[in-house]
Structures are given as structure tokens and as C-alpha cells.
């Protein structure tokens, strides 16, 4: 995932949209530590679209290099960003070779939050008399927003990441209209997902198959949003007696902490989830669910008799508690590994998905005999058709679309699709390039 970081200048103001970490095979890819192509001291405002690390992960670096402007986001984004940044700092501050221990400090994180103000969706934020900003619901993760600038009557929209609506728990991405210039993500610009009904059915079947084999179902998952979506789906399956009773371990301290924040921001969930919450107070909690905070508890899971389910991070099996579960469970043909999210090229998760028989996980070779199942429908991003439909809603007013935040193949495919299907002027600008237009 490429770290999002855009600079928007209007009316003498320098405004950033997101300040994320690029997350490839290594957590600390060198590209993250290059100097910013602007002076952080001269930035007035940083808008944060959402709390994924590829959108917030370099905020401590921005602070370390002198940024003292304002940080603006929605309320849930501010709340979720704290555990996300603390978790990132916990990993990166161990890297003294690159001097990251001096950047990812508690002081820098604290300073960032002292500059951070939160807003409701649609609240008008006046920057100058000619420049006004609103945060619109992107439907990607809890609190995720698109940033809409209105400058002298012209609208420029940065999408951040766009949700794969309908989500089990979030409201749909807002329709946008009258946009003049659009800067949009393209993570799934060249692919379509399975539908929502198929994904829940597929999840149910995978759980049942694993139950019949008396195995352990291992689900590597991203801590933010995917974990809570899965808990919601499992809650529905358990409470509806759709799957046989069995222990389900939620084995990620970060995901457990984030789930508590989801409970605080119930009114940001979709109507369906809010309705479910009225009849079932504990939407992310159900019989058989064990949240294991302590590492001793995590290590005991291997001794619990099958069948059972283990949900743990990280989502691409590059670190976290999933690593010891995979070493333990992957060699057994009765077990299942279920992949529900994007797996970066070369990551252990991607290699397992592609059918590798021996995978190198955290310094150890592990034989894969377990069943490997992928459900793509749980992606948090709009697919290719979803992105096209999003643009189509505002195609009449659009002067230009800038396609960003995807692998080149994906961005170029979407550019071509926008040109061919909608007749829109679209391009995929290279990293570091800039564009000016007169408003």
C-alpha cells in the first residue's frame, strides 16, 4: 500500500491530505524516510481521511520535522488514530539504525493529538473567505471521509479510500455531485469483487467444512474494520444458529482496543447495525467469543480442542500473533486458513494464497497442508465497477479525474475505463508530480 500524501494549495494556504506510510514487504520501507518534498513547517493544515496506517503513519515524522499546523478529521478518525499510531510506533521505534526511535516517540504522538481537532460529517470548515471544506462519508472504515474543497465555487474532491458499499456495518459511500476535479483511489481499479451475499454464504460454508473436519480455522485479519466486520458477521451467524457452537478466539490486542472504540461510536454505523444493536446490546460479542489480550492466553489457544476459529493479525501474515498460529496450524490438513483481505505481492499471505507448499514465516519454514480459502468480497475498497459508478454520479460536472493510490496496472486500467465508458478526461499522475488550475 502506497502511503497517501497530497499537497493542496489555494488562497495562500498549504494543506496536506493524509500523511501515510508505504507498507510493502518490510514495515520500514526506505521510501518512507526520504525528506518530504515540501517544508513541513510551512504547512497550515493536515486533513486526515481515515485512520489506516497508509494514511496516518507518517504524522510523527511530520511533527519531528517541524509541522505545527492543525490536524482535522472526523471524531471516530481521531479516536481510532491514537491506537493505530501507538501500535505503529511500538514496531517502528525499535529501528534505531534509521533513527526511527527519535521520530516515533510518545511526545511526538502526544503533540500531534494536541493539534488535532475533530468535526462532524458535512460541518462547514472555513479556511479563508473563498475556501471552505467539508468531510463527506467515504464508507470505507469507521469515520472515513472524503475531503471536499470548495474554492471560489469550484469543487475539488479527494476521495481517500472509498468503501465497498454496502458494508455489513457502515453506511454507504455518499453520492457526490457537481465535482469539478476529482482525485480518486484505485486500489481495485482493475478487478471486481464477489457480492455481499456470496461472501456471507461462503464464510458460513468455510466454517461448516472446517467444523466437519474437526479442524482449526485460522483467519489472518487487519485489526481495523475487517476484524469488526468479521465479528459482526460471526455474531449474526452464531445468534442465528447458522453455525455449530465452537470457541472463537479474537487474538489481537490492537483489534480488541479498536473494537471498544467502535462501541463508542455506534451512531456512525449503518441503520442495519444500529437496529441489530438495539436488540442485541453486544454486537461485537457473542457466546463462544474469547478476546485474548495477554500473550500467555494466546499461546494456550493451540491446546484448545478442535473445532475452533482463531482470528489474529497481521492481515498479510507479516508479523503479529498470526505468525505463531500459522506455524502451529498450517501443517495440518484438517485445518483451514481463510484470507479475507488484500495480500501484497511477496507477503507470506500472498504466497499461501498462490498455493506455495512451504512458506517462510518470521524466520521459519512452515509446510502448508491446511486448506486455503480466499473470500475477496470482504475488501474494504470499491471494486472497478464501483469506482466507475461513483464517478458516473458526478460525470456531468467533471473536468478531470486524477487516479491515484493503486498499483500502476490498476490505476491505468481505471483511467482507460473512465475514458472509454464515461468519456472523461482522466490520468494517473506519477508520484511527486503537480498540477495547477485556475478557479
Binding residues vs Zn ion (CB under 5 A)? 52, 161
Q: Return d(Cα 423, Cα 418) in angstroms, integer.
A: 6
Considering the complex, state which of residue 187 and residue 370 has its C-beta at the smaller distance from Zn ion: 187
Q: Which three cell numbers mark 134? A: 467539508
- Which CB atom, from 23 or from 236, has the smaller least distance to Zn ion? 23
What span, in angstroms and rounded, lies between the C-alpha atoms of 43 and 70?
Answer: 9
Distance CA 160, CA 48 (A): 9
CB of 75 to Zn ion, least distance (A): 18
Between 79 and 323, name the residue whose CB sits nearer to Zn ion.
Answer: 79
Measured from the CB atom, the residue of 3 and 215 that comes closer to Zn ion is 3
SS3 (DSSP) at 120: coil
Q: Give the shortest CB-49-to-Zn ion separation in angstroms.
A: 8
H-run or E-run covering 374:
strand 371-374
Q: What are phi and psi of 275, to 5 degrees?
A: -65, -45
| Phi (first) and psi of residue 120, to 5 degrees | -85, 160
In whole angstroms, how far apart are CA 158 and each of 88, 133, 177, 276, 408?
25, 11, 13, 32, 19
Q: Coil, strand, or helix at residue 382?
A: coil
C-alpha cell at 210: 472446517
End-to-end CA distance of the chain: 32
Least Å from the CB of residue 414 to Zn ion: 17
Nearest distance, CB of residue 140 and Zn ion, angstroms? 6
Shortest distance (Å) from residue 50 CB to Zn ion: 6
Shortest Å, Cβ 437 to Zn ion: 27
What minimum distance in Å lies between the beta carbon of 54 and Zn ion? 6
Show the cell assigned to 212.
466437519
For residue 199, give every residue at least 6 positions away whose Cβ sits within 8 Å of its Cβ, in sequence order, or none. Answer: 375, 376, 377, 378
Residues contacting 78, CB < 8 A, separation 6+: 48, 113, 116, 118, 143
171: left (phi over 0), alpha (psi -120 to 50) or beta: beta
Angle at Cα 203 formed by Cα 378 and Cα 172, nearest 5°?
35
- When the beta carbons of 52 and 350 are compared against Zn ion, the nearer one is 52
CB 379 to Zn ion: min, Å: 11
Contacts of residue 332, Cβ cutoff 8 Å, sequence gap at least 6: 215, 216, 369, 370
| CA 75 and chain centroid, separation | 17
To the nearest whole angstrom, how small is the minimum distance from the Cβ of residue 363 to Zn ion?
A: 29
Residue with smaller CB distance to Zn ion, 161 or 229: 161
> Of the two residues 52 and 61, which places its CB atom closer to Zn ion in the complex?
52
Rounded to a whole number of angstroms, the minimum distance from the CB of residue 186 to Zn ion is: 13
Return the sign of the alpha-carbon dihedral for residues 71, 74, 79, 83: negative
Amino acid at each position: 500500500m502506497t502511503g497517501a500524501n497530497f499537497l493542496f494549495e489555494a488562497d495562500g494556504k498549504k494543506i496536506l491530505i493524509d500523511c501515510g506510510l508505504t507498507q510493502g514487504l518490510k514495515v520500514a520501507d526506505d521510501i518512507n524516510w526520504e525528506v518530504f518534498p515540501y517544508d513541513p513547517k510551512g504547512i497550515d493544515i493536515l486533513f486526515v481521511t481515515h485512520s489506516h496506517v497508509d494514511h496516518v503513519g507518517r504524522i510523527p515524522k511530520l511533527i519531528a520535522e517541524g509541522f505545527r499546523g492543525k490536524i482535522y478529521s472526523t471524531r471516530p478518525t481521531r479516536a481510532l488514530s491514537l491506537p493505530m499510531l501507538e501500535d505503529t510506533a511500538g514496531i517502528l521505534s525499535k529501528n534505531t539504525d534509521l533513527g526511527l526511535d527519535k521520530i516515533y516517540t510518545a511526545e511526538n504522538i502526544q503533540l500531534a493529538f494536541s493539534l488535532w481537532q475533530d468535526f462532524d460529517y458535512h460541518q462547514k470548515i472555513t479556511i479563508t473567505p473563498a475556501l471552505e471544506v467539508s468531510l463527506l462519508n467515504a464508507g470505507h472504515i469507521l469515520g472515513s471521509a472524503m475531503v471536499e474543497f470548495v474554492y471560489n465555487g469550484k469543487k475539488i474532491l479527494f476521495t481517500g479510500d472509498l468503501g465497498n458499499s454496502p458494508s455489513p456495518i457502515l453506511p454507504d459511500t455518499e453520492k457526490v455531485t457537481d465535482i469539478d476535479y476529482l482525485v480518486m483511489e484505485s486500489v481495485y481499479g482493475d478487478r471486481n469483487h464477489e457480492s455481499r451475499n456470496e461472501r456471507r454464504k461462503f464464510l458460513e460454508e468455510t466454517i461448516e467444512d472446517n467444523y466437519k473436519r474437526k479442524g482449526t480455522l485460522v483467519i489472518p485479519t487487519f485489526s481495523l474494520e475487517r476484524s469488526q466486520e468479521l465479528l459482526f458477521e460471526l455474531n449474526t451467524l452464531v445468534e442465528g444458529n447458522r453455525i455449530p457452537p465452537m470457541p472463537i478466539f479474537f487474538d489481537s490486542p490492537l483489534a480488541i482496543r479498536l473494537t471498544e472504540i467502535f462501541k463508542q461510536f455506534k451512531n456512525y454505523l449503518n441503520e442495519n447495525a444500529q437496529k441489530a444493536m438495539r436488540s442485541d446490546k453486544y454486537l461485537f460479542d457473542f457466546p463462544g467469543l474469547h478476546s485474548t489480550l495477554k500473550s500467555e492466553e494466546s499461546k494456550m489457544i493451540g491446546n484448545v480442542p478442535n473445532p475452533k476459529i482463531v482470528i489474529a493479525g497481521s492481515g498479510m501474515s507479516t508479523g503479529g500473533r498470526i505468525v505463531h498460529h500459522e506455524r502451529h496450524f498450517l501443517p495440518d490438513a484438517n485445518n483451514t486458513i481463510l484470507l479475507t483481505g488484500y495480500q501484497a505481492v511477496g507477503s507470506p499471505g500472498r504466497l499461501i494464497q498462490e498455493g506455495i507448499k512451504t512458506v517462510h514465516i518470521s524466520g521459519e519454514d512452515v509446510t502448508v497442508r491446511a486448506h486455503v480459502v480466499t473470500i475477496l468480497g470482504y475488501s474494504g475498497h470499491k471494486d472497478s465497477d464501483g469506482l466507475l459508478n461513483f464517478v458516473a454520479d458526478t460525470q456531468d460536472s467533471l473536468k478531470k479525474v486524477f487516479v491515484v493510490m493503486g498499483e500502476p496496472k490498476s490505476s491505468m486500467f481505471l483511467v482507460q475505463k473512465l475514458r472509454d465508458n464515461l468519456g472523461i478526461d482522466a490520468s494517473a499522475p506519477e508520484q511527486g508530480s503537480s498540477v495547477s488550475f485556475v478557479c
